[in-house]
Amino acid sequence: LLHQQQVRSLCTLPHGTGRVKRVGAFVHDSVFAAVALAAGADVIADIETVQKGEIDFDTVIATAQALPLVQKTCARVLGPRGMMPGPKNLGTVANSQDELAALVTSMKRGPVVLRTEPKFGNLYAAFGRVSFGPEKLLENLRSLMLAIQAAKPEKAPKGQKFVKKAYISTTMGPVVHVETASIDPASPRFLRDLQ
Q: What's the confidence (pLDDT) of residue 194?
A: 63
pLDDT means per 10 residues, the chain with 195 residues, are: 70 83 91 93 90 89 92 90 86 90 86 82 87 91 88 75 85 90 82 68
**What's the CA gap between 175 and 188, in Å, rounded?**
25
Q: What's the confidence (pLDDT) of residue 115?
A: 83
Exposed, middle or buried: residue 183 (CB in 10 Å: 0-12, 13-18, 19+)? buried
Provide the sign of the torsion angle of the four alpha carbons 186, 191, 192, 194, taken in this order.
positive
